[in-house]
Structure 1
Amino acid sequence: MQLGTRWQAGGTPPKSVPADLLEAISRVEATLPQAASLNAGAPMPMWTLTWLEGRPVVELDSGIELSVDAEGAITASRFDPMD
């Protein structure tokens, strides 16, 4: 695994995020409640970009993972962030 970078949901993704993931990230972010409406001053969750076997994986702190398989297809999955 190769570490990448982190950025806040709703912010501008770093240039190191592959273009094919940008649309999928935007779709996920569109489903997120605005932090301010839930808890005044609460920050938005953070994305983490890593590389596994040469392919990008982005995880949102709230439990969503986007990955690119060997054929280039993007897969979304959920995980328990408390695990």
Structure 2
Amino acid sequence: MQVGTRWTSGDEPPQAVPAALRDGIQGVDALLPVDDLGQPRPRWTLTWLEGRPIAELDTGVIVELDDDGTAVVRHDDEDDFA
């Protein structure tokens, strides 16, 4: 069994986050606007589905691995149109 974890966007992902997801996560973090009003940054949640890591941001952005092990970024509302 693999346990997930949470961390704040923009922070270094915990060691539990697979290297294959890190570039995708850091790419999303780089695109998030800076909040000059001091609002809290969204948080990432790492979970495992059928042994595959999935990182989801509170905003609905998802970073997961495709069948080739490459990180893919999508939004959770994309499932509504499948």
* TM-score normalised to structure 1 length: 0.82
One-letter code aligned to 1:19: A
CA-CA distance at 1:2 after TM superposition: 5.4
* Alignment pair present for 1:49 and 2:43: no
Instruction: Give the letter aligned to residue 76 of structure 1.
Output: V
Which secondary structure does the structure 2 equivalent of 1:24 belong to?
A: helix
Aligned residues: 77
Whole-angstrom CA distance in 1 between matches of 2:3 and 2:56: 12
Q: Runs (4+) of structure 1 moved beyond 3 Å?
A: none
Equivalent residue for 2:80?
none
By how many angstroms is 1:74 displaced? Answer: 1.8
Give 1:3 shift: 4.4
- Root-mean-square deviation (CA), in Å? 1.7
1:4 corresponds in structure 2 to: 4
Q: 1:32 Cα shift?
A: 0.2
Q: Compute the displacement of 1:76 (Å).
A: 1.2
Residue 23 of structure 1 aligns to a residue whose secondary structure is helix
Equivalent residues in 2 for 1:41-80 (5 A)?
Answer: 41-80=38-77
Offset of residue 50 of structure 1 = 0.2
Q: What is the match of residue 33 of structure 2?
A: 33
* Sequence identity (%): 49
- TM-score, normalised to structure 2, is 0.83
